[in-house]
Amino acid sequence: MGRVTQQSIDEVRSRADIVAEVERHVRLTKAGRSYKGLSPFTSEKTASFYVDPAKGAYYCFSSNQGGDVIRFVMNVEHLSFGEALEVLASRYNIDLTYENGAGPGRAERSARRELLDIHEEAAEYYHQAFLAENDLAEKVRAYWTEERHFTMEVAKDFRIGFEPPTDSELLRRLLKKGHAPAMLLESGIFTAREGSADPRYFRSRFRGRLLVPIREATQGQVIAFTARKLFCTPGADTMELSKYVNSPGTSLFHKSHVLFNLDRAQKAVRNEPAGFMMVEGQLDTIRCFSSGFPATVAGQGTSITDEQLHILKRHSDFLRVVLDGDAAGQKAALRLMPMAFAAGLEPRFAVLPAGRDPDSLIAKDGPEAMGAILAGTLSPMQFLARTLKSSPEYQGAHGLAAAMRRSTEILASLESEVARAEYLRELSLAMGFDYQAALADSARFALRGAHAPARSETPRPVAAENNAFGRLKTPESEIWYLLLRHGELALPLALAADESWIDASSLEGRLLGRLFWQLKDGEVESVSDFVKAVVEDEERNFLYSLAMASREITYETPQQDADNLLERLFISHRKRRILEIDAKVAALPAGSELLEPLLREKVSLSRTFKQLPCLKVKVG
């Protein structure tokens, strides 16, 4: 395939809206001239991800990476450079031109693009089969409208599909359009006898089933299917006897990272102060969405994962979990609660009547019934107390001790000691515990290793490896010492340094990066303003310990020290980046399009060993 011309690449960079692209994945807030939000690449609770629309660039201090809109789409959607160009060109109606004068043919296009095309063509085929004018399709529609009590408008909105039990027309159509048999197998829509690559032995995974398309969150493109058993589903093997059959994991579809209906719910949640509503199944989600609860999502038939909760956190701080009222629902909630805390979400729990799910509840009693249940949601500690009180294993004196130990395990996932103490106070009131006794028990269980607090990292001790001046060796730490004594140098240093020079793998590096960005954007006016605004215990304690230690240091020439530290910051970045480039080059396949730009960058960095760029802090 010919290379995309530089003119087309430049057009994509200039026309693609980096703020809009980032907001597909991150909830941004205005911060001076820029925007900030939680990193889409790491788990964090304090925003360290910045977007500068004037420069068309982003920088993430928690993962130490940044770039333009193309680089962002590559990283967050796990695409190659060419695939990211294709995606952005499609979103902004840009016709890409190629150096050989022609675009890629079917055989040359990206595997991702072909898989998306296969899923789109399959979704349309299934939907038209659902709408077809024949006896079998009419019975399937009757199941949808009369047994499940959904409307045809909802079916068309969600592109509900059906595959006839003995039909091979979809396979014929896809092969006729030139799709490679290997890609048809990769899609997961077909299976093959003993792994055969011969299409004559391919069989549809979803024969005789009702199909619900699963869409990715950014563009709403179909990436997988959930298929429900019907009256006409064949029963030849175990898979076909299952009530639900889902697409297997593919390069498009990673179950642990996908939430059903997130493409719609992420837009609706902006106007929903109570946050997302999480239910169990796809049909539950469709029922809730079409009944006035548009911020509804569901997992993919498996337990909710940490990755899914972190995705939700990017869009809202709150989550309503709708649970079955049985023991399995309680168990699922107790598993989810500490995971939600660790993700920075504040969950509330809505318990359904026994034997009911959101689909059947709303279909029989109307949306008002669900609204009444949501109005009575329980806080985490109310739900925990209710569960503990109803469980035989937590009765009696020994049971109360076990209840306290279980509560300690759950509360340990909270980062904030203040939040943990407040939740424990609420739990004590609900359980009838003496708060001081509960506090003592919780501390004792934690010390015994009942559960260690979930931390994103182990903070580096302030006293690690000192240099001749009694200070930390990293340039980031030494800059903090300097700025805590000479805050007037903070903005000049921020203007002189590049964000990429900072090592964000350390706590001091991430904090320094945020300080520099906020100073340049006018979000804070001084180092002291920044320190006062820090709310996380770990970060605040770290900065306060640095402030105490900095009192012992005297700078006779602070301006010269700032220049020296700026130079050290760049040299440290240069060494680190060259090692990263060497590792990436070694891992690249032969002929990779990424090889040339990496080698050019290494040559450019290597030249600075002979002569450093002009690095001076300009004051005033």
Asked if residue 196 and residue 122 are part of one domain, the reply reads yes
244 forms beta bridges with 228
Asked if residue 249 and residue 145 are part of one domain, the reply reads yes
Per-residue model confidence (pLDDT) at position 469: 38
Per-residue model confidence (pLDDT) at position 362: 95
In a domain, 102, yes or no: no
Per-residue model confidence (pLDDT) at position 456: 36
Residues ≥6 apart with Cβ < 8 Å to 484: 527, 546, 547, 550
In a domain, 57, yes or no: yes
Per the CB < 8 A criterion, the answer to whether 540 and 534 are in contact is yes
Per-residue model confidence (pLDDT) at position 464: 38
Rounded CA-CA distance 359/350 in Å is: 15
Per-residue model confidence (pLDDT) at position 594: 72
Per the CB < 8 A criterion, the answer to whether 588 and 595 are in contact is yes
The CATH number that applies at residue 34 is 3.90.580.10
Asked if residue 233 and residue 143 are part of one domain, the reply reads yes
Domain assignment of residue 249, given as a range: 111-253
Q: Into how many domains does the chain fold?
A: 5
Per the CB < 8 A criterion, the answer to whether 351 and 325 are in contact is yes
Per-residue model confidence (pLDDT) at position 333: 86
Count of all residues that appear for the chain in the document: 620
In a domain, 426, yes or no: yes
| Structural domain ending residue among the three candidates 235, 253, 271 | 253
**Which residue stretches of the chain have pLDDT < 70?**
1-2, 100-109, 195, 236-241, 301-302, 325, 446-472, 590-591, 593, 609-615, 617, 620
The CATH number that applies at residue 263 is 3.40.1360.10
In a domain, 465, yes or no: no
Per-residue model confidence (pLDDT) at position 453: 38
Query: By three-state DSSP, how is residue 414 classified?
Result: coil
Asked if residue 29 and residue 84 are part of one domain, the reply reads yes
Model confidence over 326-385: pLDDT tens digits? 777 778 888 899 999 988 899 999 999 888 899 999 999 999 999 999 999 999 999 999
The CATH number that applies at residue 207 is 3.90.980.10
In a domain, 211, yes or no: yes
Asked if residue 240 and residue 123 are part of one domain, the reply reads yes
Asked if residue 502 and residue 431 are part of one domain, the reply reads no
3-class SS string, 248-293: CCCCCCCHHHCCECHHHHHHHHHHCCCCEEEECCHHHHHHHHCCCC
Asked if residue 244 and residue 172 are part of one domain, the reply reads yes
Encoded tokens for 49: 């991800």
Asked if residue 248 and residue 141 are part of one domain, the reply reads yes
Per the CB < 8 A criterion, the answer to whether 276 and 265 are in contact is yes
Per-residue model confidence (pLDDT) at position 455: 37
3-class SS string, 126-181: HHHHHHCCCHHHHHHHHHHHHHCCCCHHHHHHCCCEECCCCCCHHHHHHHHCCCCH
In a domain, 462, yes or no: no
In a domain, 96, yes or no: no
SS3 content of the chain, % helix, strand, coil (to 5): 50, 10, 35
Per the CB < 8 A criterion, the answer to whether 163 and 129 are in contact is yes
Asked if residue 261 and residue 248 are part of one domain, the reply reads no
Asked if residue 595 and residue 518 are part of one domain, the reply reads yes
Per-residue model confidence (pLDDT) at position 237: 53
In a domain, 100, yes or no: no
Q: Report the DSSP pairing between strands 209-215 and 222-229.
A: antiparallel
Per-residue model confidence (pLDDT) at position 450: 42
Asked if residue 393 and residue 334 are part of one domain, the reply reads no
| Structural domain ending residue among the three candidates 400, 427, 447 | 447
Asked if residue 87 and residue 51 are part of one domain, the reply reads yes
